[in-house]
Amino acid sequence: MSWLFGGKTEQPKKEESLQQTLGFDPAQVSDVSSILSAPGVLDSARLHPLAGLDKGIEYLDLEEEQLNNVEGAQGLIPSRSWTDDLCYGTGAVYLLGLGIGGAYGFQEGVKNLPKNAPPRLQLNTILNHITKRGPYLGNSAGVLALTYNLIDSSLDGFRGKHDDINSVAAGALAGAIFRSSAGLRPMGYSTVLMAGAAGAWCGLKRLLA
């Protein structure tokens, strides 16, 4: 909102900051003696060359504190580097795949319930179906996300910025690599599908941000 209300608050803030750095208010200065007599100007504790050491060593955690500094790379979760992006993205997509696969397995299990069996056996059937479907889909989705994130980060580093073109291109490439040994047609399908998914994700991110 600073572009809206910035005009009014800018001026006093500037003067205040000037007063802070100089130790006196430049608007009230008439001669030198009034500067020297102002409290805090000639404070020996502040003028000492080793002043301010009690704050601790601040430069040490600069490196750590820095968030991802590629332009436009700030996503939903604060990420500190491309490895963070990789971990979060892969983990989230894997769990998503696991959940969808598990839900599919659940309805499959419910459909194939043995008739008039004890409830423990019924529970077992459902759990069996879930554990069969869930991890498989999760693994595939995780590998896709891993490839996508690796390519995306490389493109980011290569071009020096992060935008939607990168994401869509990375999605297409990841899809192509994922099905590259299955023949041209499945490869084309997965390419288009992954590019579309990457585009949809970009749109969703825009919507949420």
Partner 1 sequence: MSADHTRDPCPIVILNDFGGAFSMGVIGGCVWHGIKGFRNSPYGERGYGAISAIKARAPVVGGNFGVWGGLFSTFDCSVKAVRKREDAWNAVIAGFFTGGALAIRGGWRHTRNSAITCACLLGVFEGVGMMMQRFMAQPTMAPQYPDQPLTA
Partner 2 sequence: MSNILSVFNPSPSRDLAPSEADCLPCTLIQSVFAIGGGIYLNSSLPFTEGKENKIDFKKHPLWWQKSVRGIGILLIGLGAYRFGEVGQIVYKKKFE
Binding region for partner 2 (CB under 8 A): 87, 120-121, 123-124, 127-128, 131
Shortest separation between residue 127's beta carbon and partner 2, angstroms: 5
Number of residues forming the site for partner 1 (CB under 8 A): 26
Question: Taking CA 86 as the corner, what is the angle to CA 83 and CA 88, rounded to the nearest 5 degrees?
Answer: 105
Torsion on CA atoms 116, 121, 127, 128, rounded to nearest 10: -100
Q: How is residue 93 written in tokens?
A: 């997509």
Residue 61 interacting with partner 1 (CB under 8 A): yes
Q: How many CB atoms are closer than 10 A to CB 125?
A: 17
Q: Which is nearer to partner 2, 55 or 120 (CB)?
A: 120
Q: Which is nearer to partner 1, 43 or 61 (CB)?
A: 61
> For residues 71 and 162, is the Cβ–Cβ distance under 8 A?
yes
Task: Give the list of residues 6+ apart from residue 129 with CB closer than 8 angstroms, or none.
Answer: 105, 106, 108, 109, 112
Residue 123 interacting with partner 1 (CB under 8 A): no
Q: Where are the alpha helices (DSSP H) in the chain?
A: 2-22, 32-37, 44-47, 62-65, 82-111, 119-159, 164-178, 184-208
**Which residue from 51, 53, 26, 24 is spatially nearest to 39, judged by alpha carbons?**
24
Residue 127 interacting with partner 1 (CB under 8 A): no
Q: What are phi and psi of 71, to 5 degrees?
A: -60, 130
Residue from 64, 69, 158, 208 binding partner 1 (CB under 8 A):
64
Residue from 73, 82, 89, 156 binding partner 1 (CB under 8 A):
89
Shortest separation between residue 80's beta carbon and partner 1, angstroms: 8
> For residues 70 and 161, is the Cβ–Cβ distance under 8 A?
yes
Residue 77 interacting with partner 1 (CB under 8 A): yes
Q: From partner 2, partner 1, none, which one binds at residue 86 (CB under 5 to 8 Å depending on kind)?
A: partner 1
Q: Which is nearer to partner 1, 89 or 109 (CB)?
A: 89
Residue from 67, 110, 117, 165 binding partner 1 (CB under 8 A):
67
Shortest separation between residue 112's beta carbon and partner 1, angstroms: 22
Which residues bind to partner 1, rule: CB under 8 A? Answer: 61, 64-65, 67, 77-78, 80, 83-84, 86-92, 94-95, 135, 138-140, 142-143, 146, 181
